[in-house]
Chain A
Amino acid sequence: MEEILRVENLRKTFQLSQKQQKLEHTREKKRVAVDGISFSAYRGEVFGLLGPNGAGKTTTLRILASLIRPDEGDAWVQGCSVCHEPGKVREKIGFLTSELKLEDFFTPNYLFDFFSQLHSVEPQVREQRKKELFHTFGIENFAEVKVANLSTGMKQKVSLVISIVHDPDFIIFDEPTNGLDVLTAKVVTDFLLDLKRRGKSILLSTHIFSLAESICDRVGIIINGKMILCDTLQQVTNGDTLENRFFQLYNAYAQETGGEQV
């Protein structure tokens, strides 16, 4: 199998402001968000990162998208280092997270063209791709409506479409169905499956076990910034449900570290 992503010993620490220290009732000035994470993802597979809120999933994905730099370690996307070749990495990936917003003033049509130009997509290819994606997500009728006037679901669909204007081989989705109604979530899930069928590689973070079970080939479970387990879905579940396995692993980790079990 061709390795499309290799992550080696990623570590990321954040300084806590006084305000954050107060909010989190801690005197620690630093917080380790990602603590020596290593894993690989392969071409054509969907890799799911699972973990509770604050486990370090989003930080890991932001490092892989070259938005932030790791303190230690490195990762390679199709051979390009996120630390040393961030520009090349950004050309090769599609990245969707709820943190990334679209400008309310513009229409989906304008934004698609704008981001296509930034990704150096040829005009003819752009028009063809726009037609297909807008049709798939039912955006055609809203193509000239300003983002400000779109529903939350439609905004998420537009964000998703914008993140793949350049038809990347490797796509990173951070909680792609978060906050969506069931119908829109279904459209997004079906699209992820379609991408998988088309041979795209996907790295997905989610805490929705059913979504992970339905589309992931392999999963990694992150707790407190550490990769607790990383294997094929079959190996991880071992005949049980993913949810049960997750809680077993979580409680075992909590027992080991003196944390609170659930």
Chain B
Amino acid sequence: MTLALLAVPLVAALLALAIPSNRWRPWLIPVAAGLHFGMTLITVFAGQPKFPTAWISLDPAGQLVLLLISTLYLVTSFYMTGYLRYHAQRQNRVFVSCLLCLLGTMTLITWARHLGIMWVAIETTALCTGPLIFFNKTPQSIEATWKYLLIGFVGIALALLGTLFLAYSSLHAGLEPTLALDELLLHAPQLSKPWLHSAFVLMLVGYGTKMGLAPMHTWKPDAYGAAPGAVGTLLAGGVTSCAFLCILRIYQICCASGDFAFISPMLIFMGLLSMAVAGVFMVGQQDYKRMLAYSSVEHMGILILGLGLGAPALFATLLHLINNGLTKGVLFLSAGNIHRSFGSTRSTVVRGALHRLPVSAGLFLAGFLAITGSPPFGPFISEFSILKAGFESGHFVASGLFLLFLLVIFIGMGATVLQVVQGQEPEDAPRTAYREGVLTIAPPLLLLGLVLVMGVYIPEPVKVLLQNAAVFLEVRP
């Protein structure tokens, strides 16, 4: 099953290169995604978690992220076929192939329990997503891809250096140098502190670049602005979640070595900084796709902040990981529809979207309410629980700032979103041939339904999964 889970997307990617028809090729994506999702459900829920080898196995944290990306990918895959049908004249061979590769490498990240393999997998996601951002082949998308690749490569290179430092910390302690997670966790208390600490900093910066934490977030608005909406979903909900999983690994090692007091202030600071930067750029933001990118920066900040609060906030943080991924899907997919109909991402041009695209604009509005933490949606529960954990653990300043930033972001984001969806459509507003269809409407609708379910009642199996993951990560030295 493990092998099949990894192999299906990669085989499909090769098939995509071989299929000559531009029209039928995109249907390979939902087929592969469906198979992947089915196998994911079997692996995660049916069987006991299997540990096939020490390096490649699925632990509770990996299960959670795997379930998230597989769900998100399946839903997005149908949208993708609708999108590629609309752009039927464009050659999509490389695009489809890279998209399928991306699923394979993201899966590998969730399975990897060897930090070297994890690193290779995350570098490969960067290589797969480059061509995806580039799909529109406009000067903007070239610029965005270049920045994404260069900043991403440097960030990941730093993460590699951090990974090597981690291995060196075991060598320095007189152990056999290793990067296998099990052995590192076992010997965590003996690891050499200075090397472990610098490894943590480098990996936080490196994988944080991939997550889009401020101040390494600069590629994010460009890339999300230029990429197709569905790719934005996979980046904001999938790749960032995988990068967060990488940070969870080093977090776990640091906790096991008794260094939580050292890393906690750093995580809290990075989290709040990301939220602050996102808030500053969201107020008065006139490009609604860039606005979504800053929203992603904000939520990555919330995740890191939650991690910094430690064990009391762990469950809520993992819940927020799921909620953020699903809600980002609603937002990016509906924003993609609006973009396609108006041909612009400027809120000065796009107005009155509720009249032209009632469903998409409605979804965009609901997605905005959900992501900013309004009840009854999922993010409300997770953000509120993080806040509660913050106050209860005595982080009054951090929790106060958290609340303040949430408020600022709500106002800033609300102004732009309302401008887009409400009001009268201008006479001279551009209009393309795009009409709302089942393939581009049903996926975000389904995701919104999931977000709502997560807010009203977390399904029992998911809850168990979250609890297992939180307990698994909650290691004591």
The answer to whether A and B interact is no
